[in-house]
Amino acid sequence: MDIAGTVRAFLVDSFLYGQDSADLREDTSLLAAGHIDSTGVLEIIAFLESSFGVSVEPEEMVPENLDSIACIERYVLRKLSPPPPSA
């Protein structure tokens, strides 16, 4: 599953009017770069939930999880990974 590629395609289509840009690096802050605002965050959350089957909890709605392609990829992988076995 190419999470980063899927997310990039969504971002380009939804916020960059279909025009990918070399400025959109994997570590580009989507908020700081002005690519998204608070409504954009809602769109990203809805996309992740429908595309990857994850549920984004309120306490997980932080920049460390959602503010760049790399952050989103790491977050989705964590959500999709099975929980560690209890000791």
Q: Which of 19, 47, 51, 50 has the alpha carbon at shortest distance from 35?
A: 19
* Stretch near another protein under the rule CB under 8 A, chosen from 5-13, 19-27, 42-50, 75-83: 42-50
Answer whether 40's CB lies under 8 Å from 30's CB: yes
Question: In the set 32, 77, 78, 80, which binds another protein (CB under 8 A)?
Answer: 32
- If binding is defined by CB under 8 A, does position 59 make contact with another protein? yes
- If binding is defined by CB under 8 A, does position 34 make contact with another protein? yes
> Minimum distance between the CB of residue 9 and another protein, rounded to whole angstroms?
19
- If binding is defined by CB under 8 A, does position 27 make contact with another protein? no
CA distance 21 to 85: 42
- Per-residue tokens: 83: 């929980």
Q: Rg of the Cα trace of the chain?
A: 13
Instruction: Tell me whether residue 2 or residue 57 sits nearer to another protein (CB atom).
Output: 57
